[in-house]
Amino acid sequence: MRIDITADPPADVLKSKKRYLRISLALLGVVLFAVLLGVIRVVFDSGYDALLENAALVLFVGAGFVFVYFAEKLNEHKPLSKEQHDKVEKLCRQHQEIDRYCRKVAAMNRVLTVAELDAIIAHADAVHVRKKRE
């Protein structure tokens, strides 16, 4: 998720979280189906052993990689822990832009996400680097 601290917070965080959750669950279903194909291949003796084995392998590996990608996207939507929230409060006291962004998020009646925390930390680091250069 692309977050810009100087702009308004995204309003569709919950909608994108639901979309990533649905995609992740569908891919997990494909992975479990591939495991089932592998079990069928091992338990039952059929004339399609090579086909079942290859199909199970392709589905398992392909869907597995895509599942991990979408699971990481879903991880960006997690709410902050207590320690992370304390870190944001500390950065809010040090930077006006971050405080303004957090107030906008609070006005939307939602909590900050891990992706927003990463963007806040990156913004604070960029400000510190700029101040050191001056």
Query: The whole model's pTM is what?
Result: 0.76
Nearest Cα neighbor of 77 from 18, 7, 6, 5 is: 18
Query: Among positive and negative, which fits the CA dihedral 16, 100, 107, 114?
Result: positive
pLDDT tens figures, 48-98:
788 888 999 999 999 999 999 999 999 888 989 999 999 999 999 999 999
Separation of alpha carbons 104 and 57, rounded Å: 47
Separation of alpha carbons 102 and 35, rounded Å: 44
The structural domains of the chain, with segments of one domain joined by +, span: 13-75, 82-133
